[in-house]
Structure 1
Amino acid sequence: MKAAREHIVSEEEEDDDVEDESSLAENKGMNFEGDKIAYTKKLNFLPGSSEERVQCYRVLDDDGYPESNMSELVSKEVALKIYSGMVTLNTMDKFFYEAQRQGRLSFYLTSYGEEAINLASAAALNTDDIVLAQYREPGVLLWRGFTVQDFANQCFGNNAGHGKGRQMPIHYGSKNLNYVTLSSPLTTQLPQAVGIAYSLKMDKKDSCVIVFFGDGSASEGDFHAGLNFAAVMDAPVVFFCRNNGWAVSTPVTQQFRSDGIVVKGQAYGIQSIRVDGNDALAVYNVVRSAREIAINEQRPILIEAMTYRVSHHSTSDDSTKYRSVDEIEHWKTMHSPIKRFRKWIERKGWWSNKEESILHVKHAIEEAEKEEMPPLRDMFTDVYDELPSNLMEQETVLRETIQRHPKDFPNNFF
């Protein structure tokens, strides 16, 4: 009994010491610089993950029925433009993919299954908003006025195309449309987007930046650097993650143990939301709301759009090597964002056969093939105002190489 009493007294005295130390620290203003600290006597580790998954916002179910009163989000004109754009993007992908298989293109990458993310997000933005995309968002450019012919010219690398052949196919860009040219290395665009957003903040612009990336990019260091940079600097940037289940052949289950990407925003103090990426209305409303917050409150937002990559990663990939054909077909037929949105606009009485786009993608491809290739000189221009000596030397060496091996180069290469 005596020993037990001494133990109790010892704990009470220890508690008093902790409280006295806490009070002393508070009186001396010794709160940690990171934040105000609330002390506790209990030894608690935060759980690695919550048992409850973050809920996914959506408006339309798989049959195109609205699950809330948010189905009046868009006008007939906007809805039909979104739908037409999704169909156009899907059709363009089919033709361009086949052109690559025929040897007419060196590379291509489709957006099958992710059409709603492309067009609905684009519809929610302002043309003054700056877009930094990855490689599965050509629909944003399509919405802003980049034509099918523009896409074809870039992919064929001809003299009329953006970049004039100095970048591989699907690396689109347009200064006039505020769409920063794509770069191949994953996630480089996230810190860049934050820097651009901060410049908009400094110039007090009424616009924001949106940056697109995939779930695989969230495993890169630039993802974490970008989010932390944006949070600390209160940059008006919308981070848009397409969680489509696969980083090439690596499934999300082998990428992270957390509840997807959305929970990572909270760790950096960023407001975040998860949305059904196959629901065009939901994507539109989330991006529209995120844009308002980013601009009005001058802060970053993280969006995780849940979707599925129906296509192979690219023309260099065969996804049937690591996932079943039945799985792909299930998502293609049962969860098509185009079919879901089509059902909704049909119920609204907005759609008819007259509204369906009759595309001339084949014609655009043929015209792109007829266009002349850029002259050799263009490989070295548009980087410096005056060509430096090292590039002049490289050009000389290249021309000498071509002259020694004329059969390996087209006649009009010079």
Structure 2
Amino acid sequence: MYPAILIVDDEASIIESLEGILADDGFEVSHAFNGYEALKKIEAESPDIVLLDIWMPGMDGIETLKEIKKNFPNLPVVMITGHGTIEAAVDATKSGAFDFLEKPLSIDKIIVTINNALNFRRLEEENRYLRKKTIERHSISGFSPAVQNLNRQIMNSAPTDAGILITGENGTGKELVARTLHQFSTRPEEPFIIVNCAAIPEETIDSELFGHERGAFPGATAKNKGKFELASGGTLFLDEIGDMNLKTQAKILRAIESKTFQRIGGGRTLSVDVRIIAATNKDLTSEIAAGNFREDLFYRLNVIPVTVPPLRERKEDIPLLVDVFLKAAAQKSVKGPKNMDSKAMAMLVQYEWPGNVRELKNLIERLAIMVQEETIKVREIPRPYNNTLKKSGDRVSELLSVNNWDQARKQFEKEFFRKKIDEAKGDLGAAAARAGVDQSMLPVGVQRNK
């Protein structure tokens, strides 16, 4: 398809001239003689770009531009005028014009400007698509009341610059919440920098956060920017903030309050504009009482508290999560997609999930790899998720409790062959082959576990 251009000008000669030139260059061209007609044509034809004269009777170009941007914010508009002034250019740019051209028009400049506007629109569309996919990938999946409440908290707090403290158990998805907050903030195109406070050694965390100058300490052979500096303009996510030492807490507090910091070994004070989001699985009020966390930093971080619910409080989301994880696993596998048997799904819903969503994800990835059949059934679900299975230790204890050797041997044979039949999915010939015996040697009455 060729790009569609709408020319809006009250001079018929200008429209006729531009239509001929642009049509020769492969563009689909339509026209309007005033702003009202232009708005109707945009609604009906959805052009890719508008060339708009700034001086027209009735609704002038600036008024028309404002209406276009109000109703079609992503449509690029190039303003054209025979009476160009700096004031008019500034007004048009502030109102959302992509560019500003003066009459008499240079054909080469028109073509270049149109192509630049179309390329810019393409990039904007790609960015919107990528941002949408990023949000989908990092959002908390589920329709339970607990997740709906969490999403309301995210939507209400994301557009502000206030400090946010995310609390929740390990594996609940605190980092996903932080990423979603960043994507819906006023700075989604800016950096999102993560600091795992529990993973950085105490002796290097100051350098990680604030950077250092060359020669600041042994081994500092070059200047290094810290996470605060790298996150400037964007979001700094302090994960596991409850594990940060008191000395570094004081420096963090000072940097947040003053919006300034110094690199280690440097004398220059640097200004920084960073939105702080912190997360912890600890009860910080208890840590404050124990003298392990600064109360003033807690209040600075906890302007907006966001709590991520554990999986056991939103079990109705488990079928959706299983489906999401199975589809993700299928994309990495050559075996094709798998599904979960209804009884097996019910078993997963009943489990308490102390490791939360992370534990569920790990289990589903393991099952997707290890199960050969298309449908994952109850017998494939391992302990402790499957409470119908006996522990291997229980079976051994039963065998050892038999006093008669002949009875114990027969019981062992029965359990041994039953396991082989299970592994062969009920195929007795395959089970005998696995056991290295003739099928006639399988004990009478041995059946596959259901």
TM category (shorter chain) comes to under 0.3
TM-score by length of 2: 0.24
More strand by share: 2
Which structure ranks higher in relative contact order (CA pairs < 8 Å, sequence separation ≥ 6)? Answer: 1
Larger Rg: 2
- TM-score w.r.t. the length of structure 1 is 0.26
